[in-house]
Amino acid sequence: MSIRIIIADDHTIVRHGLTKLLQQEKDVEVVAQAQNGHATLELARELSPDVIVMDVGMPDLNGIDATQQILHENPNIKVLALSMHAGKKFVVAMLKAGASGYLLKDCALEELTTALQTIISGRIYLSPAITDIVVDSYVRQPGEAEQSAFSVLSQREREVLQLMAEGLSLIHI
């Protein structure tokens, strides 16, 4: 049985490159590609994949909020964050949204396939470069935790803020 995957990234070349690489792997089938969080959400509803390889920073609806919505609707889907962002706020927010793994975009194909196998088997996969961030966040006392937009603003407030940052006016939102 093959792993059915959706690739979600706002960069066309990244989506196509990942698709081409993953299709060479046995037991892996890329069933769709999405360029933003809203498209990913719709494809997840329609196709019910095993895994979504999700970029964290996408337009319209970012990967964090998309992950949260997708997993709320279908907790059987696994989300593997694939991002250039190694910052604590991104990593922690994505894991709190329910991602089963977090991988940096500078990884090798072998690490990506290892991460996919790990999360399909029900375990968590963390890129070695970010494990310190996760451990630090876990052992930090709750009172010491820094507040971020993800902990203070509602999902809709974050979405409006993102659209405004992308240059849309309130009239278009």
Q: What is the pLDDT of residues 15-63, one digit of tens each?
A: 999 999 999 999 999 999 999 999 999 999 999 999 999 999 998 899 9
- C-alpha 16, offset from chain centre: 17
Structural domain boundaries enclosing 78: 3-165
pLDDT higher than 60, residue 99 = yes
Domain count, the chain: 1
* 90 lies in some domain: yes
Q: What CATH number is attached to the domain comprising 141?
A: 3.40.50.2300
* 35 lies in some domain: yes
* 172 lies in some domain: no
Give 53-64 pLDDT, tens digit per residue. 999 999 889 999
Give 58-89 pLDDT, tens digit per residue. 988 999 999 999 999 999 999 999 999 888 88
Mean pLDDT estimate for the chain: 87
Residue 37 · residue 64 · CB < 8 Å: no
* 173 lies in some domain: no
**Which residue's structure tokens are 């509602």?**
154
Residue 150 · residue 80 · CB < 8 Å: no
* 171 lies in some domain: no
